[in-house]
Structures are given as structure tokens and as C-alpha cells.
Amino acid sequence: MNSQTRRLSLAGPAGPLACAIDEPAAAPVGVAVLCHPHPLFGGTMDNKVVQTLARAFVQLGYRAVRFNFRGIDGSGGAWDEGRGEVDDALAVIAAQRAPNLPLALGGFSFGGYVASQAAARLPADQAAERLVLVGPATAKFEVAGVPADTLVIHGEQDEVVPLAATLDWARPQALPVIVVPGVGHFFHGQLPLLKSLVVRHWR
């Protein structure tokens, strides 16, 4: 993301997991673990939306942790249809969460599914402070129910995950969804807006 980005490898359930860590200017107020889009369609931790989430969290004072799912660019193992990828996220959370600092979880597209499932599997005494899901893959994966303060952002003209699918998922939870007019799945030309939405609505 920038010259200060620290890259390292963590032990994962199917082999090493490649990670990238960005630190805030001062001591971190929390740790944000961010999940990337579908690995079979080119998704990696360097996806522009995931990097935008990382920048937003760094601005909010968090240590931002991105990682590649199994089988992608330096991470061992192979695609596991979403099951093992949730295990990967839980391994990164366990390795990177800091004592006495809140944990935030974020994800884009398939990564939104993974973040929701990882959050649902954390013990109550280790629950995430809050989640942010951007264009979560509600049409093709079983995105878990999430806490009422979860930040959900979706493009009105999302061509990969129809907005209607996310509204259908959110409706039974009475969960608000921020809809960005005229924007597609990858937020082309609107990444600064996405960043400002996260920063503005997080607190």
C-alpha cells in the first residue's frame, strides 16, 4: 500500500498466509483484519477496495491487517469453497489481535462473507467490536447475520452482487444499508468516497 507496509507470513491451517500490515502514526486504538474478494476471480489483499478499507482504518487509528487466502500469492493450500477461507481469517485474527485493543473486521465481496462468518464463530468474550462489509457476496454465499451496528455499503448498480440480494439479506435483520448511487461493484472512481464513508460512519 505504501513504503511503510510491513509484509510477513503467518502460520495458517493449510500452510503459510501472506499478510500486509499498515500502522497508524500513533499507538493503535484497535486492530482491523480485512478480507479480500473471491480468489478464483483475481481477488487478493492488494485489491483496491481492500486497500481503501486499510487506509480508512489507518486514518481511524487502527493497525490494518490484510492477508491472502489459501492458494493465493504466497499463501499455502488451495481454494476450499469458502470453508477453509473462514479458517484462514480466524487464524489471522488469532495471530494479530492485540491484548486490550478492540478488533474490527472488514471485507469486500467474498471477503464480506468471510468476515461475517469469522465474526459469528468468535467466542462471546472475543467478539469483534464492529464489522464493515462492502458489497458483501449475499447472492452466492451464506453471509452470516451480523450485529445491528455493522456498517454495510453497497453500490446501487453493483453488477456482481445485485443490490436486491443484499437488501433481502439485510431486511430480516432490520439492518441499514448505505447505498452509493450509480456505483458498481468495484467502486471505480469512487474509492475516496468509500473511504470517507467508512471514516465518517465508523464512530
Confidence check: pLDDT of 112 > 80? yes
Q: Is residue 153 in some structural domain?
A: yes
CATH number of the domain residue 182 falls in: 3.40.50.1820
pLDDT of amino acid 87: 98
* Amino acid code (one letter) for 74: G
Q: Please, where are the H alpha helices in the chain?
A: 48-59, 83-96, 110-121, 163-170, 191-202
Q: Is residue 85 in some structural domain?
A: yes
Q: Is residue 142 in some structural domain?
A: yes
Confidence check: pLDDT of 120 > 80? yes
Confidence of residue 1 (pLDDT cuts 50, 70, 90): low
Q: Is residue 145 in some structural domain?
A: yes
Tens of pLDDT, residue by residue over 122-148, are 999 999 999 999 999 999 999 999 999
Q: Which pTM value belongs to this model?
A: 0.97
Which segment of 1-5, 119-123, 159-163, 181-185 scores lowest on mean pLDDT?
Answer: 1-5
Instruction: Round to whole Å and give the CA distance between 33 and 67.
Output: 8
Reference 135, options 180, 103, 192, 70; nearest CA is: 180
Mean pLDDT of the chain, nearest integer? 97
Q: Is residue 175 in some structural domain?
A: yes
Q: Is residue 1 in some structural domain?
A: no
Mean pLDDT along residues 178-184: 98
Tens of pLDDT, residue by residue over 71-103, are 999 999 999 999 999 999 999 999 999 999 999
Domain span at residue 176? 6-202
Q: Output the DSSP codes for 22-80.
A: E--SSS-SEEEEEE-S-GGGT--TT-HHHHHHHHHHHHTTEEEEEEPPTTSTT--S---
Confidence check: pLDDT of 151 > 90? yes
Other CB atoms within 10 A of residue 101 CB: 15
Q: Is residue 144 in some structural domain?
A: yes
Q: Is residue 45 in some structural domain?
A: yes
Domain count of the fold of the chain: 1
Mean pLDDT along residues 158-176: 98
